[in-house]
Amino acid sequence: MLLSHIPSYFKARRDKLMADNPGGIFILPGAVDMYRNGDQSYPLRQDSNLYYLTGYVETDAWLVLAPAAASSPQGKGGYRTVLFVQHRDLDKEMWNGERYGTDRAMKIFGADEAHVIDELDKKLPELFAGAEKVFYRLGTTERGESNDRRVLAAMHAHRRSLGRTGKPVLPVFDPNGPLGEMRLFKTPEEVELIRTACRITAAGHKHVMENIRPGMNEGDIQTMIEHEFRRGGASCPSFGTIAAGGKNAACLHYMSNNEPLRDGELVLVDAGAEYAQYSGDITRTFPVGRKFSPAQARIYDVVLKAQKAGVAACKPGVTITGVHKRVSEVMIEGLLSLGLLSGDVQEIFTNNTHKRFFPHNTSHWMGLDVHDAGLYLNNDGSSRTLEPGMLFSVEPGFYVQPGDTEASAEYQGIGIRIEDDVLITRDGCENLTTLVPKERAEIEALRSK
Ligand code: ZN
Ligand code: MG
């Protein structure tokens, strides 16, 4: 179904981007259909930058934000929003659904100009007029290569049109620089959408925690949780669902999801709902049966303590690396007390000895991409300081590889991760995913119903 109204915040974002980057031309190709096999494509997901600036979701679109000529309606110092879109084609639309076309790209999406995508190569060189720098992401994907060629050809044509003026070649910058910085700070509208994505995600996890029984398959978790996501209003999962029973949980990106769930083992579920293009991302680990075994409980308590210490550390002024350090220290203390590590906490942290059991970082930014845009480090290499509006995961994990015979047998093959999504507020943080239990007693109570 086509939308007939697009919120004004998309235009406000374009205004800010162009005001912050005077003289820049932004060239942003959208997502195109990718073939899975034969003539069957993967579900289309719009490029997050193009979506962030327009709300436009169709395949085969390019967005160009170009400096305006002094004689144009936008005037000197202004900019033009130019959308290239699929042309209307009633025959194709009968097969694949209605298209917006150029008229509605202007009326609904507020483009100053809209052209059919076939005119891109002809029109693009003209749009460089008045530009002093180019924002285009060069050299990204295989598919990006043909985009690169089109942009470079347009830059070449533009340069030739200048004649012998001695003007310098336009420098090219990555648009993810300024756009990543904007996307890192969530506006109240974005927070509401992410709040919904998190609520749907949490409800799905809780449903799985209540209904999974020994003898079911990991695939049952995937279908059950993704069904709840859709039922809750999500358009799709925000990444590939991980439903890992027993030792499969020790594989960080396990996605086969096709083995039986056995009583006595744990199951790790890492899944998120995508709502209005925004991601939720939660991990819970719970017993396939009713209770944690004593060994599982000991490890679970260490991971939970580290995770809660991480959430408690999230506030303005702390660095994102500082949160990870705090989580790692609590984790290391726990592993020392269980005899899985030996030595001094700080020494272990500095030497990364704990990475044998906790090999990943604690956090990733969240937003339109589940691993969202934005720099984790400042230009001088120091860690980013947390500020209100930043939104990210807190997800320590503990894994003993099944073949790690140096660890005591009762711990081998255990994988436990606990993940919540937090928003930095003025004086601390708000945990957006508290709806799904993580206290061991609460989980056991739910599993025993
Ligand atoms: Zn995550
Ligand atoms: Mg996750």
- Is there a catalytic annotation at residue 207? no
Mean pLDDT of 265-278: 98
In DSSP terms, 217 is beta-bridged to 260
Helix (H) or strand (E) segment spanning residue 351: helix 345-351
* Distance from Cα 368 to the centre of ligand 1, integer Å: 13
* Distance from Cα 392 to the centre of ligand 1, integer Å: 8
Residue of 364, 411, 420, 447 marked active site = 364
Q: Count the neighbouring beta carbons within 10 Å of the beta carbon of residue 177.
A: 13
Band of the pLDDT at 355, cuts 50, 70, 90?
A: very high
Mean pLDDT of 260-285: 98
Which residue type occupies 229? F
Burial bucket for residue 186 (CB in 10 Å: 0-12, 13-18, 19+) = buried
Q: Which ligand is nearest to the CA of 362?
A: 1
Q: What is the pLDDT of residues 12-28, one digit of tens each?
A: 999 999 999 999 999 99
Q: How far, in Å, CA of 242 to CA of 229, rounded? A: 14
Give pLDDT, residue 5: 86
* Distance from Cα 198 to the centre of ligand 2, integer Å: 12
Asked if residue 193 lies in contact with residue 278, where contact means CB atoms within 8 angstroms, the answer is yes
C-alpha count within 13 angstroms, C-beta hemisphere, residue 329: 10
Residue of 278, 300, 399, 411 marked active site = 399
Write out the two tokens for 77: 């110092």
Give pLDDT, residue 167: 82
- Is there a catalytic annotation at residue 329? no
Q: Is the pLDDT of residue 143 over 70?
A: no
- Provide the percentage of residues in the chain whose pLDDT is more than 70: 99
* Distance from Cα 239 to the centre of ligand 1, integer Å: 10
First to last CA, the chain: 41
Query: Nearest to residue 271, comparing CAs of 134, 415, 421, 400?
Result: 421
- Is there a catalytic annotation at residue 369? no
- Is there a catalytic annotation at residue 395? yes
- Is there a catalytic annotation at residue 253? yes
Q: Which ligand is nearest to the CA of 272?
A: 2
Query: Nearest to residue 205, comparing CAs of 37, 25, 45, 417?
Result: 417
Helix (H) or strand (E) segment spanning residue 250: none
Give pLDDT, residue 218: 98
Residue of 58, 274, 419, 421 marked active site = 419
* Distance from Cα 176 to the centre of ligand 1, integer Å: 21
* Distance from Cα 395 to the centre of ligand 1, integer Å: 7
Q: Which ligand is nearest to the CA of 253?
A: 2
- Is there a catalytic annotation at residue 399? yes
Write out the two tokens for 279: 């991601």
Q: Count the neighbouring beta carbons within 10 Å of the beta carbon of residue 34.
A: 12
Q: Is the pLDDT of residue 320 over 70?
A: yes
- Is there a catalytic annotation at residue 148? no
- Is there a catalytic annotation at residue 20? no
Q: How far is C-alpha 415 from the geometric centre of its chain's CA atoms?
A: 23
Which residue type occupies 184? L
Token match 């503990």: residue? 398
- Is there a catalytic annotation at residue 281? yes
* Distance from Cα 418 to the centre of ligand 1, integer Å: 10
Q: Is the pLDDT of residue 141 over 90?
A: no
Mean pLDDT of 202-223: 98
Band of the pLDDT at 168, cuts 50, 70, 90?
A: confident
Give pLDDT, residue 88: 97
Query: Nearest to residue 332, comparing CAs of 287, 324, 269?
Result: 324
Give pLDDT, residue 23: 95
Q: Is the pLDDT of residue 213 over 80?
A: yes
State the average pLDDT for the chain: 96
Mean pLDDT of 210-236: 98
Residue of 281, 369, 372, 420 marked active site = 281
Q: What is the pLDDT of residues 357-376, one digit of tens each?
A: 999 999 999 999 999 999 99
Q: How far, in Å, CA of 98 to CA of 113, rounded? A: 21
* Distance from Cα 98 to the centre of ligand 2, integer Å: 34
* Distance from Cα 446 to the centre of ligand 2, integer Å: 22
Q: Is the pLDDT of residue 1 over 80?
A: no
Residue of 417, 420, 421, 447 marked active site = 417
Q: Is the pLDDT of residue 282 over 70?
A: yes
Q: Which ligand is nearest to the CA of 371?
A: 1
Beta-strand relationship, 266-271 and 242-245: antiparallel
- Is there a catalytic annotation at residue 419? yes
Beta-strand relationship, 40-41 and 35-37: antiparallel
Q: How far, in Å, CA of 157 to CA of 403, rounded? A: 60
Indicate the pTM of the whole model: 0.95
Q: Which residues are placed with Cβ below 5 angstroms of ligand 2, an ion? A: 270, 281
Query: Nearest to residue 411, comparing CAs of 260, 292, 271, 262?
Result: 292
Q: Which ligand is nearest to the CA of 364?
A: 1
* Distance from Cα 56 to the centre of ligand 2, integer Å: 27
Give me the domains of the chain, ranges plus CATH numbers.
9-181 (3.40.350.10), 185-447 (3.90.230.10)
* Distance from Cα 248 to the centre of ligand 2, integer Å: 15
Residue of 372, 395, 420, 421 marked active site = 395
Q: Is the pLDDT of residue 142 over 70?
A: no
- Is there a catalytic annotation at residue 360? yes
Burial 261-285 (b: 16+ CB within 10 A, else e): beeebbbbbbbbbbbbbbbbbbbbb
